[in-house]
A = this chain, B = another copy of it.
Amino acid sequence: LTTFRITVAYDGTAFRGWQVQPGARTIQGALEAAAAALNRRPTRVLGAGRTDAGVHARGQAARVEIDRPIDAGRLPLALNANLPDEVVVWRAEEVPPDFHPVRDAVAKHYRYTFHVARYADPRTRRFVHRVPHAPDLGLMRRAAAHLVGRRDFAGFQKSGSPRDTTVRTLARLDLAAEGDYIHVDLVGDGFLYGMARNLAGTLLRAGQSRLDPDSLPAALASRDRSAAGPLLPARGLTLMAVLYGHDTGGDA
């Protein structure tokens, strides 16, 4: 029995999110079925982040135990053989049996992508949120500067999410334009439920001059949902990477 950390990419469009739910098509469910086919027994696959319905991943991380001896270099192929096209395991690394994908994660990198265009491009529409008019990047960056750091993000989560603490450290909140696309890169030690999409919505609203960037310190202090931007659609969000420390063999 060997423990692996696998790195997984997926197109989340046609899934009800990461987490196994009875009667629903989920990423975790697809991976557990693929692992069960190798192990010939029900097998748990524990993910680093429970991405929402419609959210994508390039570098989701998960823990899986495989009964029979298999080389880390061959495990992706063996799992992919039993996965749908939208889910691809592209790396596996042997880790200590006590590896825990959530507890051991040092940081996560999410990306929210806007497509500035009057009409959707059918080749990218599944992975972007389209906005007809270009937001002002300068205003978005000014808003971002107020949000980076160790903050109480209580106002930047889906309403009704129960958490012991809502303080998180946002290490990076960067904007990059690439042709008609704007990428918002968010790196932090943890994200509240809906927080990445909420922050993206806050930056967008600032870029549309519908929210004053300099109102954000007060919005953070108020811990009030209504002071932040809207929760943007899941399709624009991708979990790019989960970063681990050297002690667990990661690449952080």
Contact = CB atoms under 8 A, between A and B. Distances in A.
B10 A119 contact: no
Interface string A115-130: 0011111110111000
A54 B121 CA distance: 16
Given A80-B119, A119-B76, A119-B80, A125 B85 contact: yes
Q: Which of A11, A123, A127 has most chain B Cβ within 10 Å?
A: A123
Interface of A: 9-11, 56, 58, 76, 80, 85-90, 117-123, 125-127, 238
What is the total number of copies of this protein in its complex? 2
Contacts of A117: 90
Given A85-B125, A125-B85, A90 B119 contact: yes
A121 B122 CA distance: 17
A120 B77 CA distance: 11
Q: Which of A76, A120, A122 has most chain B Cβ within 10 Å?
A: A122
Contacts of A90: 117-119
Nearest to A90: B119
Contacts of A56: 122-123
25 contacts: A9-B119, A9-B121, A9-B122, A9-B123, A10-B122, A11-B122, A11-B123, A56-B122, A56-B123, A58-B121, A58-B123, A76-B119, A85-B120, A85-B122, A85-B125, A86-B122, A87-B122, A88-B119, A88-B121, A88-B122, A89-B119, A90-B118, A90-B119, A123-B126, A123-B238
Contacts of A122: 9-11, 56, 85-88
Contacts of A89: 119
Contacts of A127: 123
Nearest to A121: B9
A123 B86 CA distance: 8
A2 B58 CA distance: 47
A76 B118 CA distance: 10
Given A88-B122, A123-B127, 16 more contacts: A9-B119, A10-B122, A11-B122, A11-B123, A56-B122, A56-B123, A76-B119, A80-B119, A85-B120, A85-B122, A85-B125, A87-B122, A88-B120, A90-B119, A123-B126, A123-B238
